[in-house]
Structure 1
């Protein structure tokens, strides 16, 4: 089997990254839609000042995640057919990482908002911290630990853009 060219590798990296963004985009859009409708529900009037502050953090971080996760599309449109795929892949990688960070904040804030509404604040804080740890385990700790496994194996999926 022939080795792919540099251009083909950047194209494949971009296609892989877009597929990953499609998955993340769906999750953040569902959360964002839920958060947009929440103030119009009957129970929202019973929220405390703390809960409203947590709601705003969750809403704004979902908006930031949405913007960052979708931004590679706008960047691609601006650079279309200019032969700047490496720059596009590096940008999309940074935006995906930032978008996931904001998505984490939004998810944990949403859990805090809901658990604080139905449980005691102390329990809500513990559950939210556990939620953050759960997400960090699967989104950061395990992937980073995996980076050192099987370094002697030539894996085509490990050629992420250097940032």
Structure 2
């Protein structure tokens, strides 16, 4: 059982909604007897969802970032050429930025706890998650490029890295946009 947190009732911001539209939940909440979810329950559920999504992404980026940091202490690191060092630096910097973006929602929530800003925190956390995921994709792409460039050759490394980048773009961005558009079309019918 969760303890309800106070929220603002006047939290509709048209300017914010234009940038990143709010998701609307039309179905009943799980476990609701009457099929209706209160505004407070909806906000608490959305915050729980954000936390769960963030935990999944944080784990991946932190493991990858730790791996990247350890590479610089290996004997072969000094043998990397300029291109490989540049890719490595891009991977480390994007990994650090992704880590910051994906951990930020917890910090924001902790600092603003009790300020009745949960809906605003959820919106900002969602944007930070999207930013963090883009940076994580850049980090993974850079790591793949670095490893393949060292292990095989330039052409194979570039082709595989481009394919992986397209895969991330399709899975993480194009598919959700397509599903949203399909859902909107079916709602209008």
Q: Is the TM value for this pair above 0.5?
A: yes
Listed one character per residue, the Cα deviations across residues 4-46 of structure 1 (whole Å, up to 9, x for unaligned) are 1212211111110110000000000010000000011122122
Runs ≥4 in structure 1, deviation > 2 angstroms?
A: 148-154
| Higher Rg | 2
62, 76, 95: which one aligns with 2:128: 95
C-alpha RMSD over aligned residues: 1.4
13, 18, 22: which one aligns with 2:55: 22
Task: Tell me the TM-score normalized by structure 1.
Answer: 0.89
Listed one character per residue, the Cα deviations across residues 79-110 of structure 1 (whole Å, up to 9, x for unaligned) are 10111111110110111011001101100000
Is residue 82 from structure 1 mapped to residue 115 from structure 2 by the alignment?
yes
Task: Tell me the TM-score normalized by structure 2.
Answer: 0.78
Look up the SS of the partner of 1:40 in the other structure.
coil
22, 25, 48: which one aligns with 2:81: 48
Higher relative contact order (CA 8 A, sep 6+): 1
Deviation at 1:2, TM superposition (A): 3.9
Change (3 A) 1:124 1:152: closer
Deviation at 1:152, TM superposition (A): 7.5
The structure with the largest helix share of the pair is 1
